[in-house]
A and B are shown apart, each in its own frame.
Chain A
């Protein structure tokens, strides 16, 4: 699936650039993507390490366990395959909470930790489990209470009410999250 999409992106993009006589731009794109990725990773690396450190303290003190136990009754309905009070619940809820408050850089390491603990539960290591797909649907929907980047951009352009978008954003992303979870349920064959 990703394989076909990737081929499609590169072949259509390249052909379009070559046919319109912009082969030099194509050259620049091919050679610059490594540098662009490295710059992105260099920005993420220190923050990922920082949050993993904080997360490890929460794990060793038992705070993460407490969070898992607290959140279990709510998330159990969405993730019926994860055993009771499993640490995956702690990581999943940390990831969702950081996303909701617009902390994308903290959400990523928590999400990757969640994926690892879901992979431990997964029987077929090469195939996505139902819980993984459900978890990623929640992430792609990006349920957000405070869209920090957009609010700061609005302030920059002199908006009279920068946080005006908070309510419509929340409603729209909540409705589409529910929609996504329903579709996921149907396709996953769960009742």
Chain B
């Protein structure tokens, strides 16, 4: 598996360059003129990212979520869900780095091969940071009305957590 993923990038790069050379494209010039687009693209990303990191950081560091967890804990115990997993599930759509930090803590306390460790890994690995994807992609082309996109994204994230709770015990 590691072998495949470490060969993946070099093989793609080689195929692209050899095919272009065969088609007699000026590969070097083509690379440089494509790469030049990197600066305007990065700048167009900066401002929507800034807005999102600003909002999400204030919210995640405020402790609001801790109150919410304390409130939900008795309910989770009732339906037999380990409450340690809840922060990972709730953070997932909002921040990738926060989620990884939580996963780090869970591995440290319970170990990566424990049930809680596996469940959190699957929740973290089965979705992307919905809020980041939506703000970044729509922001980059100037879309103002996103219609139902965010709702479907968040609702699917919730569904994903429920599926993880059902499927992971089958593997454990």
Contacts and interface: CB of A to CB of B under 8 A. Distances in A.
Interface of A: 1-2, 5-6, 9-10, 12-14, 16-17, 20, 22, 25-26, 29-30, 32-34, 36-38, 40-41, 44-46, 48-50, 52-63, 99, 101-103, 106, 108-109, 111-112, 115-116, 118-119, 125-128, 132-133, 135-137, 139-142, 144, 146-151, 153-154, 156-169, 171-173, 175-177, 179-180, 183-184, 187
Contacts of A142: 126-128
B164 interface: yes
B122 A168 contact: yes
B-side interface mostly: helix
Given A20-B63, A36-B57, A101-B8, A52 B41 contact: yes
Contacts of A48: 38, 41-42
A126 B33 contact: no
B20 A52 contact: no
Interface in B117-143: 118, 121-122, 124-131, 133-138, 140-143
Contacts of A183: 152, 155-156
B75 interface: no
Nearest to A36: B53
Contact of B167 (A13, A146, A157, A168): A168
Contacts of A14: 58, 62
Nearest to B107: A157
A10 B142 CA distance: 23
Contacts of A125: 142-143
B58 to A, nearest CB: 4
B50 interface: yes
Given A115-B137, A162-B112, A13 B31 contact: no
A140 B25 CA distance: 35
Contacts of B146: 1-2, 128, 133
Say which size band chain B's interface belongs to. Answer: 35 or more
15 contacts: A10-B59, A26-B58, A37-B53, A53-B35, A56-B34, A62-B23, A63-B20, A106-B9, A111-B133, A125-B143, A127-B143, A139-B128, A144-B125, A159-B112, A172-B168
Contact of B50 (A33, A53, A119, A166): A33
Given A13-B64, A112-B137, A140-B134, A57 B147 contact: no
A49 B35 contact: yes
Given A54-B34, A180-B152, A17 B125 contact: no
B16 interface: yes
Contacts of B129: 140
Interface in B12-51: 12-13, 15-17, 19-20, 23, 25, 27, 30-39, 41-42, 44-46, 49-51
B64 A187 contact: no
A61 B58 contact: no
A118 B89 CA distance: 31
A14 B108 CA distance: 31
Contacts of B127: 140-142, 173, 176
B153 A136 contact: yes
Contacts of A63: 15-16, 19-20
